[in-house]
Structures are given as C-alpha cells and as structure tokens.
Structure 1
Amino acid sequence: MTPPDEKSSRRDFLAGRAAKKEIVRFVEETTPRPAVPTAEPPRPAPPLLHVSRDAMACEFEIFFDPVRYPSGADVSVAALDLVAALEDQLTVYRDTSEVARLNAIASFRAVPVETGLFELLQKAKTLSRQTGGAFDVTAGQLSKTWGFYRRAGRMPSADEIEEALATVGYEQLELAADQQSVQFLKPGMEINLGAIGKGYALDRAADMLKEKELCDCLLHGGNSSVLARGHREGDAGGWTIALKHPLRPTERFAEFTLRDQALGTSGSGTQYFHHGGRRYGHIIDPRNGWPAEKILSSTVIAPTAAEADAFSTALYVMTLDEAAAFAQQRPDVAALLTTFGKHPGEIGVHPFNLADDAWRV
C-alpha cells in the first residue's frame, strides 16, 4: 500500500520506537491514481491535510479535508497520542509494558488487565477460533525460536520447534470476564500482538476521531494497515487505496475502494533468511510451527482494522482451499491472495468475496 517508501512489516510493529513528534503538512493526494484516458480531464480533488507520527515501528498517518474539518489537526494529534499510549501498553519489547508483565507472570496466576486489553484479547481469541488457529495470538515463543523476535532469523532444530509449539494454543488462553483477568494454562506461553496490534490502534484512533465529529478520514498504519471512514470530498464512493506488486514493489498491482472498511496486507518480503537453499519468511503457521511459503501476499478487507490485520495473517498461512472455506464462513470479509505463477515473474491472483466494483488490477 502507498506510500511506497515505507519499509516496516507487520511482525516488527512493536519494536519500541516511541513517537518523538507530530508532523502536519498539506498533500495533494493520499493515493494518486495512474493515468486513465478520459473524455474530459477530471476535476482535482480538494487537498488533504496530513498528520503523521512515528509509532509501533512505522508511520501512522491521518488524512482529512481541512476545509470541512478546521479543527481536524488538533483532533488528529490527540488520536495519534492515543496510538503512542497503546504502543506503551502492547509492545513485547519493553519490560514495562502491560503485555510484557502479562507474559512474565500469567503462566503462574491470573492477572487482572486494563479493560481495552482484555477486550482485545477476547477479540483475538474469537478470531483465532474463526480461523481454526491460523491466527493465534499465543504464538510468541515461535517467533523467538525462529529468531524473528529480534529480526535475526535462524534455523532452529526440530526439538526447538516442537518445544515452542507446545506453548501455543489460543484455547489455553483463559479470560475471566468477572475478574477481567488473563491466565495462561500452558507453561511458557507468551502472547504477541504483532498480527493485530496496529489494526487495533487504528480502530481506537478512528473511534476517537468520530467522537470529535471527524467522520471522513483515512488512517494508515505503515504499509500493512489502512482504515477508511466516510469518503473523500469529490469521491462519494469512498477512498482509493493502492497495493504494491508482490514481486515488483516499485509497481502498483491493484487498487481498492474503501468506505467504512479496513484493509490489511501480509507478506514476508522484508523479513526472511535463507538456509540450505530455501527461503524462510517471518510469518509462521502457529498450527505446525513452520514459516508459511505457499502465498506471496494476502490482502483482506474487513469491517475493522483489527480483523483485517488478523485475517490477512491467517490467510497467508492457509491453503487456497482453506481460504475459500473461510470466505464462505465470513461473507463480510473480502480477500485477494497472490501466489507464484507458472513462469518466473508471473503471479497467480485469487480473489474471495471481492465485488467487481470494489477493486481493479
């Protein structure tokens, strides 16, 4: 997704680089479209105000029309402050975070947690169940075993993989609503919110913007997560989002039109290592403990950004048949998966639940 100069990936979204400043600037286009022959030149859309902040190892951005929303800059800065606070709570890379504390002691006793975190874990457990464990928030030890926790991939032994896999299992994440507490029923279990945290932060930020009556806006969380609310002035259909080509990242591959929807995309183009002539990416199938390798990229459109993020990770590790079965269960979720084509440089395109007028190659 645009902008093309962003280099973050979903797995490193909680690397612990706190925000230092906010940047506010005018931009003419958030997602400029390629030239299309028309009978008449299109009227340019009104310029947008762009507020951004570094958080969760990427750049969070909010786009809106400053004419329609003259107080939008102040509201957007407050929403991005919330994102930074959520990073402090959710990161696994700071010993002082609530999630780090949870990982340290929840295998020994139930731990009361903040309301928002408890609700996020409830949602994560539900999404894990819906995907048959292809998304699993309890797979923290697997990331460590393969070296991706510190962005230094390594080939673990079969025994190490089995040992880490024994700590994974969303069914063993006990959530007690009456006490609002969390307990791990498997020794050594650790949660990692890398596949849902950015989307959750976008959902929370968008809710704050709506409370302040900023209802038409586009929110980016790096390259992997987008949330569109309302529509852009001059485009009643919504907001246009561009997707990079999975093999040629300097080229656009597809465009999507979003309105009150979120888009998440997953791939292993930036985090991987080679061993024994094979390539191993950072997205690990929590069902078998091995990096997924069948899918090039997974893009999902869902009602919320948290769902879009989690489902894009889940579909990345699924087979195409599993993805088709999932799409039948969730008709409100659309997906576009790409695979290697028959010839070098070619790709296969596999849409699920995508309306013809919602996207284009």
Structure 2
Amino acid sequence: MRFIMRHLKLLLTILLVVIIVSGVTLFNPLNEKSASKTDFMLSTVISIKAYGGNAEKAIDAAMDRIQEIEDTMSAYTKGSDIWNLNHSKPNTAVKIGDNTFQVVKRGLYYSQLTGGNFDISIKPLGDLWAIGSEKPKVPEESEIQQAINKIGYEKIQLNEDEHSVKLLQEGSGIDLGGIAKGYAADEVIRVLKNHGIKSAYADLGGNVIVLGKKKISLMQYIRAAIKGDKQSMQTDWRIGIQNPAEGRGILMAVINVSDKAIVTSGPYERNFKKDGKIYHHILNPFTGYPASSGLISATIIAENSMDADALSTSLFLLGEEKGLQLIESQPGIEAMTINQYKQVRTTKGLKGKIEIIDDEYKLQ
C-alpha cells in the first residue's frame, strides 16, 4: 500500500496513457479523422490538410473548386474569362462570371490604393519578361517602354450592372496572378466549412491559410490531460516564414495564428539568372524591371487571403517605409518586412508576436 501511495501519480499517468492509446477516453481529439492531399494547380504546389470525419470529401471538393478558379481566371487558359477578355477588341464589353468580376474589381481597388504599384494590367510586361516560363529573357529598353505604355489600371473599365469589362487600349491585358490565388485560398476555407470542417491548413504555393486551431500531438494531449487543462487540447497553428536567402523549407521566423491568412512575397520563388544577375518575377509597372525596393521579403497576416495576396505584393513593391505606412492604415491587417540588410520590421499589431529563429535576422 505504501508503494502504491508513493507512486500513485506515476501509476495514474501510466494508466492515463494506456487509456488514451487504447481509445477508451470519452474526450479524445486524437481519434478525429484527418486527411491531406497535394496537387499542382495555379502553377504551384497546393497542399491541404483537414480534420474531421468528412475531411477527405471536403478536400476533394476544395481541390475541385481551385481547378474551377484556374479554368475561369487564368490569363493563360484558353476560354477562361480573363483569356477571353484579353483577346477581345479594344473598347469591347466582355461579360465575365460573377466571381471573376469580383476578383477583378478587388484587384482594381488595390491598383488604385497603391497608386498603380500593384496593377492587374501588368500582363504586357509579364509576357515580355516571361519569368516562370521555359524561355525567360531580359528585354530591350525599347520593348520595355512599349509594354509600359500598355499598362495602367485606368485603362480597365467595369460595368457593375452587366458584370462586364472593357480594355480601353490595344495590346493591354489583365493578369490576376497577384490576387486570384488568394481568392482561391479563401474559397478553400469556404468549401471546407460547408463540409463541416472546423480545423484545417492550406498552402497554395506560399499563400497559407488556416481554419480554427490545430490538433495537438499525443504527448501534448497527455500533458494537458494530466493537468486537467481542457483549453490546451487545441493550439494555434505555428506558421513558418521562409528565409529569403535559403531554399524552400528553411525558416527565419514563426508566428502562431488561428483563422488567418499568411502570405509572403519575395524574389526567391520565380526568377532566372542572366550574365550573373538574378531577375525575379515581381515587376515594377513604372520602371518595367523587377522591383528593387530594398526588401527581400514581405509578409501579410489578414482575415482573408485575397487581401493578403494583393497587399503582400504591394508591400514588396512600395518598400519598407511607404509599404508599412500603407498597411498600418488598413484595419485588421498586419505585416512583416525583411530588408536587404536582414533587418526585420513589423506593424504595431505584431509586436511581440513574431519569433525570430535565425540569428542572422534582427528585429528592429
């Protein structure tokens, strides 16, 4: 009896572990089913993980929705809304789908908000550089100037009543690459919710969005159960911020979030080297060249991914000072920047919430 009393806590812990592992407990989130799937769409790798009895079906539906978005909004898919618009005659009203219209409208909002730094009419310049294709090139100055002359969000005209769009200049075109992926991430969450999913994670090529909280590990569950801490049965998602100087999967910081979108823009994902110089895909519509704002990474944390997507590109283009001023003026939006000297700055709402895990980077 003395032995039992002396080691009662240990015996209870062992018993608890046995009960959890055997699945007998009445409250055991570890028994909840989960599913995950990875595919290649929107010119990037898409990964979704969801928890719940309906997880597999929900993910399949979410993947189908992403494909629908690509089929209707890609500038390079023949027959899509945007392809049809870009191949129409100037000053011709082209009716597009309601969802595409709303994304174009939101894209124009951010084009105006940023004074044209973020501009959905960037397509002529993107086609010229062809970064991300098999044959990227550094264009001639005359070619760049010709492309710049075709760019300008004011050359796009919307008709709210008809849900139609006009391109007012010959050779102009729309590319929703800086915002449609964010819209797709938001749609993933909407579809998952409609299937009863309350906890999920989706990564659309750097556009990360999380639903609810993350299920804890077995050992975390055991420790919480011993303490009787039911609030610790779930935890915020721990999202990593990529080290812009290293390859994919190498992190420089982490942030804990739930029900948020986290989008990072940088020069490291799509680029090419010519004569020893690296050219990246985030093009400045005023200079015609890859953006050179002093930033090497720009991250946005927001309630939805469409806004985060557009604003992360905007922040990267505007640079540290002007970009952070813009984000501070947007309710519910937070940001983190990394400049060329590996100095990290954040908006006021992120103070104390970013954990730097690489000593080369210094929080200012």
Same fold (TM over 0.5): yes
In structure 2, relative to structure 1, the CA distance for the partners of 1:106 and 1:48 (3 Å cut) is farther
- 8 A contact 1:165–1:289 mirrored in 2: yes
The alignment status of 1:84 with 2:67, answered yes or no, reads yes
Q: Which whole-Å CA distance do the structure 1 matches of 2:352 and 2:34 have between them?
A: 25
The alignment status of 1:226 with 2:225, answered yes or no, reads no
Aligned to 1:98: 81
Q: Which whole-Å CA distance do the structure 1 matches of 2:259 and 2:286 have between them?
A: 32
What is the number of residues matched between the two proteins?
A: 310
Aligned to 2:43: 57
Partner letter of residue 74 of structure 1? K
Q: Which whole-Å CA distance do the structure 1 matches of 2:158 and 2:274 have between them?
A: 39
Aligned to 1:41: none
C-alpha displacement at 1:278, in angstroms?
A: 3.6
SS of 2:162's partner is coil
In structure 2, relative to structure 1, the CA distance for the partners of 1:206 and 1:92 (3 Å cut) is same
In structure 2, relative to structure 1, the CA distance for the partners of 1:76 and 1:168 (3 Å cut) is same
Partner letter of residue 255 of structure 2? F
The alignment status of 1:360 with 2:355, answered yes or no, reads yes
Q: Which whole-Å CA distance do the structure 2 matches of 1:302 and 1:151 have between them?
A: 34
- 8 A contact 1:258–1:358 mirrored in 2: no
SS of 1:279's partner is strand
- 8 A contact 2:145–2:288 mirrored in 1: yes
SS of 1:296's partner is strand
CA RMSD of aligned residues (A): 2.2
Aligned to 1:334: 334
Deviations 1:25-68 (A, max 9, x none): xxxxxxxxxxxxxxxxxxx9778431333212223222222xxx
Q: Which whole-Å CA distance do the structure 2 matches of 1:50 and 1:358 have between them?
A: 28
Q: Which has the larger radius of gyration?
A: 2
Q: Which whole-Å CA distance do the structure 2 matches of 1:53 and 1:272 have between them?
A: 22
Deviations 1:149-197 (A, max 9, x none): 6353322222211111111111221110111100012221111111112
Q: Which whole-Å CA distance do the structure 1 matches of 2:73 and 2:84 have between them?
A: 10
C-alpha displacement at 1:359, in angstroms?
A: 2.3
Instruction: Report the more deviating stretch, 269-278 or 153-162.
Output: 269-278
- 8 A contact 1:106–1:182 mirrored in 2: no
Instruction: Report the more deviating stretch, 174-183 or 197-206.
Output: 197-206
- 8 A contact 1:92–1:192 mirrored in 2: yes
Equivalent in 139, 146, 153 of residue 129 of structure 2:
146
Per the normalisation by structure 1, the TM-score is 0.80
In structure 2, relative to structure 1, the CA distance for the partners of 1:288 and 1:45 (3 Å cut) is farther
Q: Which whole-Å CA distance do the structure 2 matches of 1:321 and 1:57 have between them?
A: 31
The alignment status of 1:317 with 2:312, answered yes or no, reads no
What does 1:293-304 align with in structure 2 at a 5 Å threshold? 293=292, 294-304=294-304
Give the structure, 1 or 2, with the largest relative contact order (CA under 8 Å, sep 6 or more).
Answer: 1
In structure 2, relative to structure 1, the CA distance for the partners of 1:325 and 1:355 (3 Å cut) is closer
Q: What is the percent sequence identity of the aligned residues?
A: 26
Aligned to 2:53: 70
In structure 2, relative to structure 1, the CA distance for the partners of 1:151 and 1:339 (3 Å cut) is farther
Partner letter of residue 105 of structure 1? S
The alignment status of 1:285 with 2:284, answered yes or no, reads yes
- 8 A contact 1:195–1:310 mirrored in 2: yes
SS of 1:138's partner is coil
- 8 A contact 1:60–1:221 mirrored in 2: yes
Aligned to 1:34: none
What does 1:250-269 align with in structure 2 at a 5 Å threshold? 251-269=250-268
Aligned to 2:198: 215
Equivalent in 232, 240, 245 of residue 243 of structure 2:
245
Instruction: Report the more deviating stretch, 351-360 or 72-81.
Output: 351-360
SS of 2:326's partner is helix
Q: Which whole-Å CA distance do the structure 1 matches of 2:102 and 2:330 have between them?
A: 21
